[in-house]
Amino acid sequence: MKLVECPRDAMQGLTDFIKTEDKVRYINQLLKVGFDTIDFGSFVSPKAIPQMRDTAEVLAKLEWEQSSSKLLAIVANTRGAAEAAELEGIKYLGFPLSISETFQQRNTNKSIAEALSSLEEIQNICVAKNKKLVSYISMGFGNPYNDPYAPELVVQFADILKTLGSDVISLADTVGSAEPQTINDLYASLSRHARGVEFGIHLHSTPQAAQSKIAAAYQAGCRRFDGALRGFGGCPMAKDDLVGNLATETIVMYLGSQEVPLTIDSHAFAEAMKIADEIFPKH
């Protein structure tokens, strides 16, 4: 079982800048917990995501060498990928590929065709620099723009990503609208169809629906979950303050109920929750 903690996703949409030293303190604590991967920052335009403008500075102060967790950074183009790939400590480069043409333009200022071209170049960078590529299929359960969508389209995108050489494909419910049965059916279909690729899931949800969504993905065979402590973050396009990331503590609680063995240090986890409550704005 792989748990991916996503402080980057939790922080990136916040208007008020979280101080670099607070990010370092928080992520260094997360590195003690026992997560498989920490999605810690992004190498994108500071104009687009001002909150992440200090990612390289944060990385320089992280105690990653003392941790079993791997670091993941999000990139949106080859420039960002090239910058991230030069930095020791980063294992994964993550790229958001959207099924929605509208969202791809809004998220990376590219068409889907341009994004696929960039993705191929990013994969080449990963191979050259000994990094691994995580490709996210965003808007994987539909979109609010009336752009074309069908489960078969998701499978086609997964095929393309597999062909391009993605090490991990993560299915993302960007607006948090997917029902548990839909999550179960689509994840199971993908994992059967594109064997040989590690699949994960990145869901957004209201707190009330989170456990049923986690259960649906787990029962479909998912063994890689993205989450964020307290469920912070999510997509502002959901237009709902209650739609955030899956709360990591809810994922851990559900997996515990299924007697899934986890390498989580409970003391370090509790301390990370405490720091999260200190640095994230109260709602």
Q: What pLDDT shows up at residue 101?
A: 97
Is residue 72 within 8 A of residue 38, CB to CB? The reply is yes
Q: How far is CA 77 from the centre of its chain?
A: 17
Whether residue 241 has pLDDT greater than 70: no
Q: What pLDDT shows up at residue 193?
A: 79
Q: What pLDDT shows up at residue 169?
A: 96
pLDDT range class, residue 150, cuts 50, 70, 90: very high
Tens digit of pLDDT for each residue in 5-21? 999 999 998 999 999 99
Whether residue 28 has pLDDT greater than 60: yes
For residue 149, report the phi and psi dihedrals to the nearest 5 degrees: -150, 140
pLDDT range class, residue 240, cuts 50, 70, 90: low
pLDDT range class, residue 234, cuts 50, 70, 90: confident
Tens digit of pLDDT for each residue in 195-219? 788 999 999 999 999 999 999 999 9
Residue ranges per structural domain of the chain: 2-279
- Residue among 158, 236, 234, 238 nearest 193 (CA): 158
- Specify burial of residue 157 (Cβ count, 10 A radius: 0-12, 13-18, 19+): buried
CA distance 161 to 275: 37
Q: What pLDDT shows up at residue 174?
A: 86
Whether residue 192 has pLDDT greater than 90: no
Whether residue 261 has pLDDT greater than 70: yes
- Annotate 185-207 with b (16+ C-beta within 10 A) or e (fewer): ebbbbbbeebeebebbbbbbbbe
Q: What pLDDT shows up at residue 196?
A: 81
> For the whole model, what pTM was predicted?
0.96
Q: What pLDDT shows up at residue 195?
A: 75
Most confident of 73-77, 230-234, 237-241: 73-77
Q: What pLDDT shows up at residue 280?
A: 92
Tens digit of pLDDT for each residue in 109-132? 999 999 999 999 999 999 999 999
Q: Which residue has the higher pLDDT, 238 or 36?
A: 36
Mean pLDDT score of the chain, rounded to an integer? 94
Q: Given this structure, which CATH class describes domain 2-279?
A: alpha beta
Whether residue 270 has pLDDT greater than 90: yes
Q: What pLDDT shows up at residue 243?
A: 77
Whether residue 69 has pLDDT greater than 70: yes
Q: How far is CA 170 from the centre of its chain?
A: 8
